[in-house]
Amino acid sequence: MKQEFNVRDDYKTKYGFREDVKTVFDTGRGLGKEVIDKISDRKKEASWLHEFRLKALETFKAKPMPQWGADLNHIGFEDIVYYLDPSEKKESGKWEDVPEKIKNTFEKLGIPEAERKFLAGVGAQFESESVYHKIREDLEKQGVIFVDPDAGLSKYEHIFKKWFGQVVPIEDNKFSALNSACFSGGSFIYIPPGVKVDLPLQAYFRINAESAGQFERTLIIADKNSEITYIEGCFTEGTPITTIEGVKPIEEIEVGTLVLTHKSRYKPVYNIQKRKYSGKLYKLNYYGNAKHTLEVTADHPILISKREKSEAKNKIWETEWSTPSKLSKGDYVVMPIDREIISQENRDFVVAFGSKKRTGGYVRINVKTDKDFFRLIGYYLSEGSVMGKNYLTFTFNKKEKAALEDVKKLLMKYFNKAPLEYGEYKNGISLVLCSTLAAQFFEQQFGKGAKNKNIPTWAMKESPEKQIELIKGMWIGDGSFMNKAYSYGIKRMFRINTVSSQLAEQIWRMLFRQNIFSSIHRSKRGGRRADMYCIYIGGDYLMKFANIIGFSEVIVNKQYHMLAEVGIESSVSYAVIIGDYALTPIRSIEFERVKFKEVYNFSVEEDETYTSNHIAVHNCSATTYSKDSLHSAVVELVALEGAKLRYVTLQNWSDNVYNLVTKRAFAYKNAKVEWIDANIGSKITMKFPSVYMMEEGARADILSVAYAGRGQHQDTGGKTVHLAPNTTSRIISKSISKDGGRTSYRGLVEVAKGCTGVKNSVRCDALLMDEKSRSDTYPTIKIDEEDATISHEAFVGKIGEEQLFYLMSRGLSEQEAMSMIVLGFVSEFTRTLPMEYAVEFNRLIQLNMEGAIG
Amino acid sequence: MELLRIEDLHVEVEGKDILKGIDLVINEGEIHALMGPNGVGKTSLGYVIAGHPKYKITRGKIYFRGKDITSLRPDERAKEGLFLAFQHPVEIQGVSLNHFLYNISKRNNGNGVNVIEFRKSLLEKAKTLGVNSEFLNRQLNVGLSGGEKKRAEIMQLLVTDSKLAILDEVDSGTDIDSLKVLTKAIEEVNNTGTGILLVTHYDRILNYLKPDYIHVLIDGKIEKTGNYELSKELETKGYNWIKENGVAS
């Protein structure tokens, strides 16, 4: 049976973090007049603006959904919350006044540092409201305005009102109408004549709540001969974080990781993983481990494989991240197997010696941690105990002579001391080693008392060859082979018993490393006896286990597989191990409604995740949202005579965001407008930044870069409209499609009658990374004037075998070679960015590409 | 020390037999020339040794420094110390030669390469090849002339510290001055013990790099192996002479 396993390891890119920020006010789901009333009321807006919003709402409702581009028919407008205010405070321009949790979010994004280092001003928006705008003092003195639209309206109404809604009118399209109806937040920027702002202004946008809409409005007016670069960063997730060890993706951030704070110092991430939760709490039971019920909140993403896809043989196990509400019985949960090996011939251990009074502290010992030693660990875990403080004891059944001799030999080898043998007592023989060092060492490393036995991390990470010996020792001590006849046939399986819950799980996990799927069962024994945990190995894994422990009594019985499936232990027969993952079906799924229940989210740190549930579950602070979000901004730019205005966008929304943005600029005499627009994230983006060249000598430059991975459609491009003679425009589009992603270039070049001397060039380069992916170009050219120079080039390339071979023959791995080709392909774009952004952009592209390799 | 050992190598590409039983041994410090008319499989042999996925080995083994590399990926072979200078190097847009050289050098020499040190030594190497820092800023093979591409290939050889270099038609498209410069650089590499396999159908380059062995490949087989003198004989008598005489030695 050939099996492929495509893990969509999009963890890195898809799941950012999420702060548990309570919004203080929202308008509820859906959009109607009352929502508009509430927004206007909360903002204490002038009646003209309220009228404007209401008119826009009518237009939005009246306009049909555009059908000419990416598929927008699945947007649930009624599920979206159109206005969420995270704070009672208005922005004050002081970082200290930003609410603590929001501040944390932005600090993780490195904003304070960026502001200090290479920005002239910073704005930050959380949900619907802008929480911070700050501009360098010297610029403020020169009359540069950088505030949110609310402040723009109240303080600078004369400038604001003149241009607002003029560049992008309400009626332009359905989404500009939507934005006009419920806009909130964004930036209002005014650069006075002749002022050249040397460093960029940047705004950061973040959507945190689920099903949230973000409808910011940006209006930039560059007065005569001024210069400005504005950068907007839309980072939902997968965001690189600045830490003491350099920039890291968020998922590498652990509690205790030192991140850069606004005070320009490194501080550990505090524990953000506890919250009060009200809603459905799901309880998941899965085959293979009866010990645990996985309890997860409704929005907690779990890595799963859908049942229907996994039924056929020769199957491909497609995995996806899903939430409990979408799961059903029989779907497979996916458990990552930790295959990391840290093997050491010798190890140093520090053994604490009893009370300090007596011995004064600690002794360092060096132990040869070889195969034999691991067997000794196995014996200890099953049959060992420490009596008093000084006696390391092993008790065997009198029949287990071989094991007894083995332990004697091993104790001699490692502690250079022979144990005393105590003769039969209730059929048992005890070996007692009188060594405080040995006794303390075992107790401290492997637990005291049967219920607390466990395997330390270093042993869990040792090579599978050594671990076999541990399992062997454990099995000899506490294991048995069942070979029972039932009415339905013979059932054969191996069993290892322990009363330590932790140890049972560790053995279960350790067996994964041997490619054995076992199952844990818990049996109540009544009275005061502790529950027993039984690890069963049967079905497909019976022979494999027999082989590793050297058990020869199992006769290959063609029927065992079938028979084993009859009983409860059968479970494991359905489970599979493929590569670094174990997959097992869900046995049952239930939920209860809870109110203000304290839920603990799993730390990103590997160990904690495993011990709590085994299943690939995301840290909830790094969650994605079960519902789609909508980002529909309107950006209006006005470049008056001789002004230079550059607008840079780095969009990396999570892939549940519809990103439908209207961006337009008016360029007057000899003014130059540049749109630099990079779209990496989102589910669907439709965005065609445009420049209307209103007067002679105006220039437009549009550079659009798109990356579409699985399930993404980037429908992007640009529009240049020549409304005056001797105007010049250029559009360059670069797109990359991978893993079935789709990119479309959609462009318009229009030259009005009488506009002579117009020059335009369009170039679209598309790179297809595989056969599944798609790229299209939809250029439209409308020319009403003969005297125009127009050129259009389109190029679609595939990453060729020859390119890959050339780079690989120089020692680059396939992944590195691909990434080099792609980054080279977009370098024309990266070169236009300030260095900090170029680095970040390359990193985002690399992260996206890595995640997609199966 | 033995670098390369090829035993009874049979290869097909797109269903066509292209190599039909090649045996070849190259030791440390040796220079071998693989000659033969166009289309006999000279370039293919280079590709097969470097691990091109298109070629299917149907019989035989390739050992490199004692290790069976027959089924290794190209990047793994490169890491073992194998280098192939392409006859037609592939263009990679947007990647500067500079950046690329640093990258592959880091890959082959570990991460201990200091950028400044590297840049310094790179400029020295560039000088020996008669190219300047402007050349290093150009995109990898994009828009380079034939001769420039060869220099870019040899630059790569110089930073990778390879144990065996297969140089496919390194002399084609170069003028006589470039050829002198290139062969001098190759000679220096050879002096450090690196084995060289020159793939060529002209003997021009052999005047500058005297090979220890010359192999004549005809129709997927090495029909004749000789010393430097063989090239002179070939020059006067042509490849047909071997075809007509069969295996004369």
Please answer yes or no on whether A824 and B94 come within 8 Å at the CB atom.
yes
A825 touches chain B (CB under 8 A): yes
A833 and chain B: CB distance < 8 Å anywhere?
no
Which residue of A lies nearest to B81 if distances are taken between CA atoms? A811
- Answer whether B52 touches A (CB < 8 Å): yes
Q: Which residues of B touch A824 (CB under 8 A)?
A: 92-95, 139-140
- Residue contact A807–B92, C-beta within 8 A: yes
In tens, the pLDDT along A228-284 reads 988 887 654 333 333 434 334 344 444 455 443 322 233 444 433 334 455 666 777
Between A803, A823, A825, which is nearest B90 by CB?
A803
- The residue type found at B2 is E
Contact A811 B78 (CB under 8 A): yes
**CB of A805 less than 8 A from some CB of B:** yes
Considering only CA atoms, which of B70, B36, B58 is closest in space to residue B243?
Answer: B36
pLDDT at position A557: 43
Instruction: Extract the runs of DSSP E, i.e. beta strands, from A99-168.
Output: 121-126, 129-135, 145-147
A–B interface: beta-carbon pairs under 8 A: 71
Over residues B76-92, the mean pLDDT reads 94
Q: Which residues contact A771 (CB under 8 A, 6 or more apart)?
A: none
Q: CB of A827 within 8 Å of any CB in chain B?
A: yes
Contact of B86 with chain A, judged by CB distance below 8 Å, is answered with yes
- Mutation pick from A734, A763, A806 vs chain B, by most beta carbons of B within 10 Å, is A806
Nearest-by-CA chain B residue for A820: B95
Return the amino acid letter for B59.
R
Mean pLDDT score, A165-182: 95
Which among A803, A806, A812 has the least Cβ separation from residue B107? A812
pLDDT at B132: 85
B92–A828: do the CB atoms touch at under 8 Å? no
pLDDT for A597 beyond 50 = no
> Is A5 a residue whose pLDDT tops 80?
no
| Alpha-helical runs (H) found in chain B | 42-50, 74-80, 97-109, 115-128, 133-136, 146-160, 176-191, 228-237, 240-245
Across the interface, whether the CB atoms of A811 and B75 are under 8 A apart is answered: yes
| Residue A844 confidence class, pLDDT cut points 50, 70, 90 | confident
Are A825 and B156 an interchain contact pair (Cβ–Cβ within 8 Å)? no
Average confidence (pLDDT) over B47-67: 94
Cα dist from A451 to A342, A446, A608, A613, B26, whole Å: 27, 11, 20, 20, 65
Contacts of A484 (CB under 8 A, 6+ apart): A490, A491
Residue closest to A325 by CA, chosen among A370, A283, A288: A283
**A271: amino acid identity, one letter:** N
The mean pLDDT value for A660-678 works out to 95
pLDDT surpasses 60 at A48: yes
Q: Residue B93: count other Cβ atoms within 10 Å of its Cβ.
A: 18
Is any Cβ of chain B less than 8 angstroms from the Cβ of A823? yes
pLDDT of res. B59: 94
Look at B75 and A813 and tell me if their CB atoms are within 8 Å.
yes
Shortest CB distance from A808 goes to which of B73, B89, B92?
B73
Is residue A749 over pLDDT 80? yes
pLDDT at B192 over 80: yes
Check CB contact under 8 Å for B92 and A811: no
Within A44-110, residue ranges assigned H as helices are: 47-62, 100-108
Mean pLDDT, residues A290-305 taken together: 64
Query: Is pLDDT at A156 greater than 70 in this prediction?
Result: yes
- Give the lowest-confidence range in A239-253, A662-676, A830-844: A239-253
When pLDDT is averaged across residues A15-35 and rounded to a whole number, the result is 73
- The chain B residue lying nearest A814, using CA atoms, is B75
Q: Are A249 and A846 in contact (CB under 8 A)?
A: no
Cβ contact, residue pair A812, B103, below 8 Å: yes
Is the CB of B109 inside 8 Å of chain A's CB atoms?
no
For A131-146, how does the pLDDT look when each residue is reduced to its tens digit (9 = 90+)? 888 888 889 999 999 9
Q: Check if A801 contacts B (Cβ < 8 Å).
A: yes
- Domain limits, chain B: 2-245
Residues A328-357: tens digit of each pLDDT: 777 887 776 777 788 888 888 888 775 544
pTM exceeds 0.80 for this model: no
pLDDT at A422: 85
CB A42 within 8 A of CB A264: no
Output the CATH code of domain B2-245: 3.40.50.300
B156: which chain A residues are within 8 Å (Cβ-Cβ)? 810
Residue B27 confidence class, pLDDT cut points 50, 70, 90: very high
* pLDDT at A627 (0 to 100): 62
Q: Is B77 in the A-facing interface, judged by CB distances under 8 Å?
A: yes
Question: What is the C-alpha separation between A650 and A678, in angstroms, rounded?
Answer: 5
Question: Could you give the residue ranges of the DSSP H alpha helices within A287-400?
Answer: 356-359, 371-383
Specify the pLDDT at position A685: 94
HSE at residue A308, side-chain half, CA atoms within 13 A, is 2
Closest residue, chain A, to B166 (C-alpha):
A809
Checking if the pLDDT of A214 tops 60, the result is yes
pLDDT in tens, A183-202: 998 899 999 999 999 888 88
- ipTM summary value: 0.95
Q: Would an 8 Å CB–CB cutoff place B72 in contact with chain A?
A: no
Contact of A838 with chain B, judged by CB distance below 8 Å, is answered with: no
